[in-house]
Amino acid sequence: MFFRWDWLRPQLAAPIVPTLGPVHPDALTVGLFEDILRAADTGDFLPYDKDQRWGGEKDEKVLRADVVHQPERTLIPTLARRGHGAVKVFAYGSSDSVVGEAAELAAQLASMHAVAGARVVRPLRPEATHPHGTRIQLKNFATGPCRAPDGPVHPITARPAAVQNTFAPFAETMAADGLVFLHTQMQAGQCGPVLTTVIGDHIVGAIGPIEIGMDAIGRPQLMPQYFAVLPEARGQGLGRALWRAAMRWGQLHGAAYQLLQTEVGGPSDRLCRSEGLATLGFSRITHV
């Protein structure tokens, strides 16, 4: 083994694993970190990697020769080539100095690998004061039945063809939320149900794909979805209806939980907080 769990475990302020993202606390083991090192050599998806459902090749991999693993800090750099490319250094450690060290390493590696981006990812504990960045939240389906949505939410395939055709312009408007990529997957028939809400005959909100996958310890989890409502349609409860419909679908189809990442203070963050989700920690990204 490369990683010493007695060194690494106290440094894990939030359950974030490089190249995998947030994981359930019960699945957070030294084995996950060993697995991402092995995957760096093969280039394959790990069997429980949420990104494998999109097919292709794993873009982000650990730069294992540049990992720093010491009793008080662990720095794990990753490289992604998509777009202009980026190096991210995941900085685990209680001292604030770990961010400066990680930034220096990120800048060096970005130059070495000729990529445009250099970033530091700093996990923070749930009790962090004045957090900003991304909140990691847990929806536990074992706590009770999920509430039904207050408004009409239906899979896009159940809509009339004329309504279905309005998804393309909706996706273009919400491209920043990943809806164009989602639409591409829908057209290729490569994803699960996408739930929608409409005003008149036009789609104004969507969440999907709604799919279940197994985590590293064999438990079914509801996979992350793309989720967006047109700005002019917000404030009417449509986002909450979509979210509740997705959670209800996951529970009815056997999911044990879902992990969500929300921008602190953003609309999705406020919605999830109001729905009683548990905060597992935060992730703060610094551009170098």
For residues 31 and 1, is the Cβ–Cβ distance under 8 A? no
- The pLDDT value given to residue 263: 93
pLDDT in tens, 123-177: 999 998 888 899 999 999 999 999 888 789 999 999 999 999 999 999 999 999 9
Neighbouring CB atoms inside 10 A of 274's CB total 9
For residues 185 and 277, is the Cβ–Cβ distance under 8 A? no
- Helix, strand, or coil (residue 178): coil
For 212-262, where are the alpha helices, taking DSSP H only? 238-252
Side-chain half-sphere CA neighbours of 135 within 13 A:
25
Side-chain half-sphere CA neighbours of 248 within 13 A:
14
Neighbouring CB atoms inside 10 A of 132's CB total 12
Q: d(Cα 243, Cα 153) in Å, to the nearest integer? A: 10
Q: Is the pLDDT score of 56 beyond 90?
A: no
Side-chain half-sphere CA neighbours of 196 within 13 A:
26
pLDDT band at 227 (very low <50, low <70, confident <90, very high): very high
* Closest C-alpha to 222, from 193, 191, 250, 246: 250
- The pLDDT value given to residue 26: 96
pLDDT in tens, 59-80: 899 999 999 999 999 999 999 9
What six digits make up the tokens of 13? 């302020």
| Phi and psi, residue 263, nearest 5° | -70, 125
Q: Which domains does the chain have, with CATH numbers?
A: 5-124 (no CATH), 136-282 (3.40.630.30)
Q: Is the pLDDT score of 55 beyond 80?
A: no
- The pLDDT value given to residue 89: 98
Q: What is the mean pLDDT of residues 51-66?
A: 90
Q: d(Cα 253, Cα 259) in Å, to the nearest integer? A: 16
pLDDT band at 44 (very low <50, low <70, confident <90, very high): confident
Q: What element of type H or E holds 6?
A: helix 5-8
Residue located via tokens 């794909």: 209
pLDDT band at 98 (very low <50, low <70, confident <90, very high): very high
Chain centre to alpha carbon of residue 224: 6
Residue located via tokens 């999830």: 272
Range in 9-13, 100-104, 202-206, 263-267 with the lowest mean pLDDT:
263-267
- Tell me the whole-structure pTM to 2 decimals: 0.91
Q: d(Cα 125, Cα 136) in Å, to the nearest integer? A: 10
Q: d(Cα 58, Cα 46) in Å, to the nearest integer? A: 9
- The pLDDT value given to residue 133: 92
Residue located via tokens 């999911």: 255
